[in-house]
A and B are shown apart, each in its own frame.
Chain A
Amino acid sequence: MTRHLVRAASLAAALTAWQLLTSLDVDLWLRFSQFPTVADVARAFGDRLGGDDYWTDLTDSLTRILTGFVLAAVLGVATGLTVARSRLAEDLLGPLLEVVRPIPAIALVPVAILLFPSNEQGIVFITCTAAYFPVLVSTRHAVRALTPVWEEAVRTMGGGRWRVLGSVVLPGALPGIFGGLSVGIGVSWICVISAEMISGQYGVGYRTWQDYTVVDYPGVFVGMVTIGVLGWLTSTAVERAGRWLTRWLPRTEYVATAHLRVPGARGRVLGPRARKAAAAAVPAGTTTPAHPEGVRDEHLV
């Protein structure tokens, strides 16, 4: 609870600072006099929410990023697994991937324009390329870091290549894969917005750039806030999915309880006894498992 309050307070403080700096036209070295105020932006936001264009932009951008990201996830995991598990694949694909990887995805705009018949496909291509490499690299590392005895155990039970892949390699690499997916969804946003600014029709990036060219600054900020919120929602979704799929990981309970405070012991990190009391005071239905022994650890695969 208190953590939510802290988070909300931090956001509120940032907004207040923005409102003060802009409404007072503060012009030190940074010039806030040209800046729209929070109120301006909120008004523009309200107007946009009522119109159709805003929602079209939103769904267009979301469709592009989700298509690109899902493609990247599937392709990245598949190539990561193949390259890590097969020497031939590594020799065939490794050099090519290493040469393409350093090219910023947004620098592929000319390639996308040449290759794809429509802008739409080009944008998805760029988004996909952006997310592909983080996923590929982290999958490859995760597979190589697997404990060998897991695979050996499955092989001594008569498991073949596919069984090992499905029962050991994929689940064992999931924590690492989700690291890559989290990075990937972030760079996907960067690239989808940039690509829309360059060559899109509709989309949050396109709209933001349009507003800039017609000197509609509150509109620009509406676009930015939208991007921020969408980015936050999508990365939270990836994070949540990752935590859920890797919930078998042993987690340090120390970190989780370090923040736990009870009203009586204001501001002080609790000792073990008080922490136990606090845990007992947590009402049923909250996230803290009351009886670790009774928790059902269902398997995933």
Chain B
Amino acid sequence: MSTSSETPAAVRGTRLSLVNASLGRPGAPALDSVDLDVAPGEILTVVGPSGCGKSTLLRTLAGLLPALAGTVAQDGSPLAGPAADRALVFQEDSLLPWRTLRANVELPLAIAGTARSERRRQAESWLARVGLAGRERQLPHRVSGGQRQRVQLARALAGAPRAVLMDEPFGALDAQTRAGMQDLLVEVLHGSGATVVFVTHDVDEALFLGDRVALLGAARPDGPDGAAGSGRLLAVREVPRPRERSASDDPARLALRREVLTSLGS
């Protein structure tokens, strides 16, 4: 991919770090004592069983949920709430139903103060890149679930964020479209040096995209205060030869794949 020459790498990335952080809602902690550091320009994939706190982690990094304890910081300074340079692709449908697809993608640009004609042009080009050219003027409920997910991706990328937090963005896509979106992601985000935290249920996707993969575990059977549902960060592993489709049968990759599957299965 040649786009890296257009945008200087590592300029736009940002460091996200959690130090001994406890995450969740007050009275309902979801993740305990998380220590995690995502380097600028890195792609970190996150896997874990349903309900273990993956979405909670992303919402915290986005600044929507304050940490219950510990610190969550961006480039060393504690988060003070949501900001445009950390985009979140929600697990649920978050498009505004009264706006057309194009108007939805234009929204971050409008908030940033981009001129109308310019943001229209950019929104249309982003929609085209996620395969939705010609659909700009339709309302979200007129397109399929997978198409809505791709609009969410386009909307996140349109704001040119320094970090993109994605919560199972390709869950509703067929294998081929999914691979296309993965390539787009690598080209656009990795190429521009943005930091990515990517939650997925698909182990192969996690091992293809991630520089590292974080394994989250479900509840400890007997929490100290009986806090059922309190998950944990089990491990963070380097992925051998990330983003090489041909590396899927690399022995080191296969070993890691087995480890991830075991941790998910238990």
Q: Interface on A for B, CB 8 Å cutoff?
A: 149-150, 152-159, 163, 167-168, 171-172, 174, 246, 248-250, 292, 296-301
Contacts and interface: CB of A to CB of B under 8 A. Distances in A.
Contacts of A174: 98
B87 A157 contact: yes
A250 B112 contact: no
Contacts of B88: 152-153, 156
Nearest to A248: B98
A171 B81 CA distance: 24
B33 interface: no
B90 A297 contact: no
A221 B99 CA distance: 48
A157 B108 contact: yes
Contact of A158 (B59, B108, B137, B141): B108
A158 B112 contact: yes
A167 B107 contact: yes
Interface of B: 59, 62-64, 81-88, 90, 92-100, 102-103, 107-108, 111-112, 137-139, 141-142, 155, 159
A145 to B, nearest CB: 14
Contact of A152 (B84, B86, B90): B90
A156 B84 CA distance: 6
A159 B81 CA distance: 11
28 contacts: A149-B92, A149-B93, A152-B64, A152-B90, A153-B96, A155-B81, A155-B82, A156-B83, A156-B87, A156-B88, A157-B107, A157-B108, A157-B155, A158-B85, A158-B159, A159-B107, A168-B96, A171-B98, A172-B98, A174-B98, A248-B99, A250-B141, A297-B138, A297-B142, A299-B102, A299-B103, A300-B98, A301-B103
A92 B108 CA distance: 35
A153 B94 contact: yes
Given A156-B63, A297-B100, A149 B84 contact: no
B64 A171 contact: no
